[in-house]
Amino acid sequence: MEDRAGAPMPEEIGAEECLTLISPGGVGRVGFGAPSGPLILPVNYTVHQGSVLFRTAFGGPMDQQLDTGVRGVEFKIAFEVDHIDPASRQGWSVLIQGAAHRISSEEELTAAKAAAVEPWAGGERRLYIRITPVQITGRRIVRS
């Protein structure tokens, strides 16, 4: 469907297809609030049992923010993946809104390590984070 100017209307993508689109893993972006305002940081991620896993540094911006929430209230985070071709102006984007947790139990940590999510940047990035999706939405632009 196109609007009056001939631009294609974005199509909604269902949650299940969104998960399929992001399941190969790769580069995504996390977004969360910090004292200086919202942050967006690229991460190398993997999808494991319906959750998004990535690694970051102990003491880094995310680690610090994970402790600022009121006790018992989950730390809210956004996770976005897109695949957009600037030449054809087509593509899709998926947004996951959910809660972020440090992976701390031995059992979870073993599973996360087996899922082999590797940060690209060097340095100590031993903190494994799991994002549990609460809402999954996606949009696609296709040109005929």
Binding region for its own copies (CB under 8 A) out of 14-22, 47-55, 85-93, 102-110: 85-93
CA angle 54, 127, 109 (to 5 degrees): 80
Residue 3 binds its own copies (CB under 8 A) = yes
Provide φ and ψ at 21, rounded to 5°: -65, -40
Residue 121 binds its own copies (CB under 8 A) = yes
- Write the single-letter amino acid at 38: P
Element (H, E) at 19: helix 15-22
Of the two residues 34 and 105, which places its CB atom closer to its own copies in the complex?
34
First to last CA, the chain: 9
Of the two residues 2 and 14, which places its CB atom closer to its own copies in the complex?
2
How many angstroms separate the CA atoms of 143 and 81, rounded? 20
Per-residue x/- marks for its own copies, 32-61, CB under 8 A? xx--xxxxxxx-------------------
Residue 120 binds its own copies (CB under 8 A) = yes
Task: Tell me whether residue 94 is exposed, middle or buried, using C-beta atoms within 10 angstroms of its C-beta: 0 to 12, 13 to 18, 19 or more.
Answer: buried
Interacting residues with its own copies (CB under 8 A): 1-3, 5-10, 26-27, 29, 31-33, 36-42, 76-80, 82, 84, 86, 89, 93, 95, 97-98, 119-124, 134-135, 139, 141
